[in-house]
Structure 1
Amino acid sequence: MQSNIVDLRARLAEKMAGEITLSGNPGETIKKWRKSFEVSQIDLANAIEVSPSVISDYESGRRKSPGTTIISKIVEAMLDIDEKAGSRKIRAYESMLSIANSNVILDIHEYRSPVPLEKFARLIEAEHISGSMDRHINGYTIIDSINAILQLSSEEFYRLYGWSTERALIFCNVSTGRSPMVALRVSTLKPAAVVLHGLEASKIDPVAKKIAEVETFPLIASRMDIDTMISILKGLKE
């Protein structure tokens, strides 16, 4: 394995194990990572030589939280499976680190366990525009809309999703909201929710609203100061 992949794998393993260990719901966090790596319960169970029911019991909370040894085995198993498939997720982590240090992403965060969208929206004082709020998100990305449009290729645009499409994409520096919504319309991946920052509901382009309805993801708007928003969302207790 190339040295940069070895380093990335080690950093990613530390992140994953830390999230699971510190999570208030370790089983839910294991499930989140397993789904992010697109690994079935059966494949994960086979890799650590347990029955699939053991993985199911951990994820559902029927079995007490695994200790650090089991957590390490689970993490290494997911990384091993990814490595055998060409290290796709590990390389995606490298891309995430790269774009996170650009002027396109103002903040990107993954929650240890899913957060109700209604709670998320309430914290950022968001106004509901359209779509069902009855869903959970695994994280969020705050995006400078102008820089994203000017700098990102279609392939790089996918990096905005971090580890999961089950996240809120928060677009800043928007005038009507049409441009980011058009970009999402032609994108294969769709977010769990979209937040248009700095706009009142009456200022949002009707086309942007229609796209949200057609794509069936919730559209909300917030005018909260962006630094305040980042501070609140990073401190959100899942």
Structure 2
Amino acid sequence: MTEDMAHENIRQRLAEKMAGEITLSEKPGEALKKWRLNFDIAQTDLSGYLGVSPSVISDYESGRRKSPGTLIVSKIVDALLEIDTSKGGQKIHSYEGMLYTDPGAKAVYATYEYTYPIQLAKLATLIEADVVNKGVEKPLYGFTVVDSKKAILELSSHEFQKLYGWSTERALVFTKVSTGKSPMVAIRVTNLKPGAVVIHGIRGNQVDPMAKKMAEIDRIPLLATTMDIDELVDVLKKYSQYHVIE
């Protein structure tokens, strides 16, 4: 298989995954927004490619406009993939391992995908975390709890990127941390960046200043918590189940 054929095969499988998730979601607008953010594409760029007003994309994502049908979803997905391809296809390529293998299971303690996003302030409150660096706040569409020692010592950079699951707009929670420096170094050398990093096992005033500096450079929100890890996972999963009622 040639490189072009392999790229096209990955792109086609990813398109099917994206379109299926958006179409079948209870909140297709939220799912659409999640994928647009995953590809770091502005509403104006997407609307410009499609030849529609930016308000059309905004209305779909917010639910103000009737949920898009399968044809419109297909056009939006194709636009996202085509825009990424025109930029070198970095995002498409980053999903290759997720399409064909299980993501870094040996280092993952727990992983969860949200249909509706959680905001950073709510995350910090739920897990009783100190905010070390506020960074650029983004809606978080899931979380992954990672054994930091296994992730850093045993995973290749390609395997490390698979920890993000289907959305980089998620919180990566690193357990067994003494200073927080090593996880931030690992994130610095990868192409993908998480929506937030949670250092587990120490308080905010114990985080290494260099870890905070790296978070500032990459503009990543950095939190620290000592909440029991099983309780943390349980609290975050329950939020997904009940927060719509709040």
Other structure's SS at 1:199 match = coil
Q: Write the letter of the residue equivalent to 2:160.
A: F
Corresponding residue of 2:20:
14
Summarize deviations over 1:136-182 as a string: whole Å, max 9, x none: 32332221111111222223322233344332211112222121112
Corresponding residue of 2:129:
126
Report percent identity of matched pairs: 47
CA contact (8 A) 1:131 1:217 kept: yes
Segments of structure 1 that go 5 or more residues without pairing to the other structure are none
Other structure's SS at 1:118 match = helix
Other structure's SS at 1:59 match = helix
Corresponding residue of 1:166:
169
Residues 59, 144 of structure 1: alpha-carbon distance in 2 compared, 3 angstrom cutoff: same
Corresponding residue of 2:145:
142
| Distance in 1 of aligned mates of 2:123 and 2:213 | 23
- Is residue 2:231 matched to residue 1:233? no
| Distance in 2 of aligned mates of 1:132 and 1:34 | 20
| Distance in 2 of aligned mates of 1:213 and 1:119 | 21
Q: Write the letter of the residue equivalent to 1:102.
A: A
Q: Write the letter of the residue equivalent to 2:60.
A: Y
Corresponding residue of 1:215:
218
Q: Write the letter of the residue equivalent to 2:74.
A: E
| Distance in 2 of aligned mates of 1:80 and 1:132 | 31
| Distance in 2 of aligned mates of 1:87 and 1:17 | 24
- Is residue 2:188 matched to residue 1:185? yes
Corresponding residue of 1:55:
57
**What TM-score, normalized by structure 2, do the two folds share?**
0.72
| Distance in 1 of aligned mates of 2:48 and 2:107 | 38
Segments of structure 2 that go 5 or more residues without pairing to the other structure are none
Residues 17, 94 of structure 1: alpha-carbon distance in 2 compared, 3 angstrom cutoff: farther
| Alignment partner of 1:73 out of 71, 74, 78 | 71
| Distance in 2 of aligned mates of 1:173 and 1:29 | 33
- Is residue 2:204 matched to residue 1:206? no
**What TM-score, normalized by structure 1, do the two folds share?**
0.74
- Is residue 2:175 matched to residue 1:175? no
Residues 109, 78 of structure 1: alpha-carbon distance in 2 compared, 3 angstrom cutoff: farther
